[in-house]
Structure 1
Amino acid sequence: MEKEKTKRTCKYGHTFYKSTDCPTCPTCEKLKEPASGFLALLSNPARNALLHYGIDTIEKLSNHTEKEILRLHGIGKASMPTFKKALEDEGLTFKQKE
């Protein structure tokens, strides 16, 4: 049985419908998406996870090992090919184990 959707308005005046308690406004989320750079290639959960940990450039991503990145909530194995390609395009790689 599907829960009924309720009409909501975010603090910026966007109106949307949700069937869960999630307060996230879809319009605001769309406006936050970067237009270019490697972050633009990622899903919202993956992008938000990196930004939460201050990883907002490809150089900062290269300072971490694959395992460190995979441990972040919101990052899954499906994101790794995108990360590797973006790093490769800039002549970078993930940090190797010490």
Structure 2
Amino acid sequence: MINLLIMAKCLGSICAVNHVVKSNNFLCGIIAVPARRSLEREKIDSFEKLSDYSEEEIMQLHGFGKNAMEKLKNHMKEHQVSFKN
């Protein structure tokens, strides 16, 4: 029984050490999570990288619809950023 407790404590600390938390807050609170995850999969984590894509290319990503795109375009406009033509 004591061995199980010791093992559990050891495993708990290993899990805590190996747990990685992503701290990319790019567009957090602006667009929905599925759309943000699509951008993450494409390694788009800044306005600079986002401006390398066209609106049509971003619309092809999973999670992007009219609502997400409208919110994204409004946020980009506030930061003087635009899609490539």
- TM-score band by shorter chain is 0.5 to 0.7
Structure 1: state its 5+ residue gaps. Answer: 1-11, 13-30
1:38 to 17, 24, 27: 27
Between the two structures, name the one with larger relative contact order (CA 8 Å, sep ≥ 6): 2
The aligned residue for residue 45 of structure 2 is: 56
- Percent identical among aligned pairs is 35
Deviation at 1:38, TM superposition (A): 2.4
TM-score (norm 1): 0.57
Cα deviations across residues 40-66 of structure 1 (Å, max 9, x unaligned)?
A: 311110110110100111221111101
TM-score (norm 2): 0.64
More strand by share: 1
> Which 4+ residue blocks in structure 1 deviate beyond 6 angstroms?
none
The aligned residue for residue 69 of structure 2 is: 80
CA–CA distance in structure 2, aligned partners of residues 57 and 92 of structure 1: 11
CA RMSD of aligned residues (A): 2.1
CA–CA distance in structure 1, aligned partners of residues 23 and 41 of structure 2: 14
Structure 2: state its 5+ residue gaps. Answer: 1-14, 16-20
Deviation at 1:82, TM superposition (A): 1.2
Contact 1:33 1:40 in 2 (8 A): no
The aligned residue for residue 95 of structure 1 is: 84
Contact 2:53 2:83 in 1 (8 A): yes
CA–CA distance in structure 2, aligned partners of residues 39 and 50 of structure 1: 12
The aligned residue for residue 59 of structure 2 is: 70
